[in-house]
Chain A
Amino acid sequence: MAGKINLEIDAVLEKYPEPEESLIAVLQGVQDIYGYISKDAVEYITEKTNIPSSRIMGVASFYAGFRLKPVGKYRIMVCMGTACHVNGSERIGDTVKRQLGIEAGDVTEDGLFSWEEVACLGCCSISPAMMINDTAYGMLTQEKVIEIIDSIKKGEGK
């Protein structure tokens, strides 16, 4: 497994001849593969690039886009932008939380879902909005959220 991880990270690093300057892109690449930035990955990047782990962790922990914990197969991002807030995004978040039974940032036991509150998705005109992986959902109501989550569960045979 470790060997495989290293090969995959090598592939990411190969794309960036100047890994110091491209650290964020490197980390994005690593996260695209594993869904999050693991300690092993950081240590491996340090080994290969000599970038101190403290700096890598400093960068990874600074940006909201990096995750230091695994995420669910379906990553639900509830938009907390202004327009969404004015149109009741808090309730959307509450509903997701109730439906999944987990706090923001956590993963359901079956590994299927994780959810988080995120900064504006730029879908203000269809607020309140959320994204599940790369798909945006707008004009949400609590009922609609329940339907969406249920349909994913059904699709996964749960």
Chain B
Amino acid sequence: MRFLLGYGSCGIASGANSVLEGLSECFFGTEFTVEKVGCNGLCFAEPIVEVICDDGESVLYGRLNKQSAVKLAESAKTGKLMQENRLSDDELRFLQGQKRIVLSGCGKVDPESLDSYIENGGYKALERALSMGSDKIIEEIKISGLRGRGGAGFPTHIKWQAAKNSQSDEKYIVCNADEGDPGAFMDRAVLEGDPHRVLEGMMISGIAIGAHMGVIYVRAEYPLAVKRLKKAIGELREKGLLGDNILNSGFSFDFNIMMGAGAFVCGEETALLASLSGNRGMPVTKPPFPAQKGFRKQPTNINNVETFANVSWIIENGGEAFASMGTEGSKGTKVFALAGRVKRGGLVEVPMGLTINDIVFGICGGIKDDAKVKAVQMGGPSGGCIPENMLDTVIDYENIARTGAIMGSGGMIVMDEKTCMVDMAKFFMDFTSKESCGKCVPCRIGTTRMLEILERIANGKGEESDIDTLVELGESIKTGALCGLGNSAPNPVLTTIKYFRNEYEAHIKEKCCPAKKCTALIRYSIVKDLCKGCSLCSRKCPVEAISGQIKSPYEIDAEKCVRCGQCIATCRFNAIKIISGEAKE
């Protein structure tokens, strides 16, 4: 019997260490050991232990803590696994309908063990690639139809071909692991859970374009990913799988890790290159493209983590196999990170061509508290909000782009009626304005001005002309900004105006926030008939805004109230309501 503990940073944050303690203490002196694996994507049920029985049957336990872990261990020792904490059949539907390529090793292999990766079929593709040679590799990638998974969806083989065609003895492979899109965490999961898959993809790309050095630009906020990558690279070196003339193949390759220092714009290729050279991460205009003049002014191929993670599978299974999945223009699978108001958040890898509904409702079980879905945000700060009535959109690059959103890196934030669209637009604009590098006027000042207008609207000080100004500014920024960050920064605003204009109008004309979110437009009120006068809310209120006599209804002083929501969270009688707008008492 094997015990695989989800030990990604999300698992650890959810308490995987106590589970580990519980299991290890009980297993001490037994034949059982705990294997630490990456996140298997069932984030909603963390901490998770997958028990693989000797007959190969897999049982998933979720939401464990130390006590339940001890119980699980004890039950394992008796040979009869406990029933408690098993994921229900309904919850297990999460895994059905997924097709795992990128995530195939996550939760299966030990990310800190090269052997574990090799046991699971790792580095076979590299071996194969060495025998295929450059042209065949690129041809296979071309057949596969693989497109860049970082956001824009540029065909991977074209980039590789361009970098190969550039004449130089010195070329580089750069892995963009600066996953900055708030709401996307698949790259983290892959780097933490299956780092060798990414390294293998990079090495194959190196063979294809003739590069001998791979640089991984990874966020400093992902310390576990950095640690596991370093370990993985170290093990490869130890085993002679890196360096000059690897295994006498004539191919030389090595890796370098560089930690990003916190700038979303470095997801943009040219900014990333600037950062790699020790400069401010400010993008420059293209051409020249990195394939011509990239890292150290040499031809460079930059792909993101998920793109590289697809490569070994394609080489091993053939481009045709990959291309057999997906739609006309978008082949293979895509990993989505589901979060927000969704019932089962986590990582989902599905073939292209499913609908958003298939994922949100089919795989992820719908909305928390069975509320009504309002929209799904795709593409983060560069993307847009897709409204409920368009959730049957088939997922591929072109279809998503038609909605005004973008595929992006695959973050899907699910929103219910409690999500205010003006607030969301403001949130993203706040993000992009802070992340703007400051180089070009449309982005630097434009996003700031758009944010100021949105703040005004959210504060109930909007004017009717503001919506038009936002659209005008948004369109101009899209045309005039220097890089992808700026070009796409207005998308969250433009899509919410397109699909939820009525919410903007409610904020502006009626000074009402329909989702009851914008604090300047809401007030809290105690429903007299429901309040039992228990005084609990009054004691919890951090600003002493609630007063009254025990056993008679309490009252909230709207002047003092900071709308923190503690009272609502405390009230056992559901007696506190949020009011927005005048008439809706």
Listed in ascending order, the chain A residues whose CB lies under 8 Å from chain B are 19-25, 27-28, 55, 58-59, 62-66, 80-88, 91, 94-95, 98, 118-127, 129, 134-139, 141-143
Contact = CB atoms under 8 A, between A and B. Distances in A.
A139 B381 CA distance: 23
Contacts, number: 160
5 contacts: A65-B260, A122-B185, A126-B43, A134-B223, A142-B566
B339 A83 contact: yes
A28 B219 CA distance: 12
B564 A94 contact: yes
Interface residues of B, number: 62
Interface in B244-277: 258-264, 275-277
Nearest to B221: A121
B12 A122 contact: no
Interface in B530-585: 542, 562, 564-566, 569
A136 B413 contact: no
Contacts of B214: none
Contacts of A137: 13
A82 B345 contact: no
Contacts of A62: 263, 280-282, 437
A35 B455 CA distance: 34
B45 to A, nearest CB: 10
B221 A122 contact: yes
Interface of B: 9-10, 12-14, 43-44, 46, 179-185, 188, 219-223, 258-264, 275-282, 296, 337-341, 345-346, 377, 380, 411, 413, 415, 419, 424, 427-428, 431, 435, 437, 542, 562, 564-566, 569
A123 B263 contact: no
A142 B275 CA distance: 37
**From DSSP, what is the main secondary structure of chain B's interface residues?**
mixed
B264 A124 contact: no
B187 to A, nearest CB: 8
Shortest 7 CB-CB distances between A and B: which pairs?
A: A125-B43, A65-B262, A63-B261, A23-B278, A64-B262, A83-B339, A120-B182
A82 B413 contact: yes
B13 A120 contact: no
A124 B183 contact: yes
A19 B278 CA distance: 8
Given A62-B281, A120-B180, A126-B13, A28 B259 contact: yes
Contacts of A24: 258-261, 275, 278
A124 B14 contact: no
Most buried by B among A66, A85, A136: A85
Contacts of B281: 62-63
Contacts of B562: 94
Nearest to A129: B13
B538 to A, nearest CB: 16
Given A62-B280, A137-B13, A142-B569, A124 B221 contact: no
A134 B185 CA distance: 18
B277 A21 contact: yes
A123 B222 contact: no
B182 A82 contact: yes
Contacts of B380: 82
A136 B222 CA distance: 11
A80 B182 contact: yes
Contacts of B565: 88, 91, 142
